[in-house]
Amino acid sequence: MGIIDTNTLHRDMEGIRKDLELIKNILLSEGELTDWAKNSLKKARIEDESKYIDLEDL
């Protein structure tokens, strides 16, 4: 790789910062679970794991 000047480094870092901000906003807006999903998770957490079927048995 060649020599990178500070302007190029700064420009690249600004691009990465903007990309991370976009990803963060997407995750925040999509990160909220629906009531259905919350109830399903609650039920799954109290379910006895011995009732689970191993994927190899399917």
pTM: 0.46
Structure tokens belonging to residue 12? 């690249």
The DSSP 8-state label assigned to residue 32 in this structure reads P
5: three-class secondary structure by DSSP:
coil
CA distance 41 to 28: 20
1-58 tens-digit pLDDT: 578 889 889 999 999 999 998 888 877 777 777 788 788 878 888 888 787 777 787 7
CA distance 52 to 22: 38
pLDDT at site 44? 81
Domain ranges of the chain: 6-57
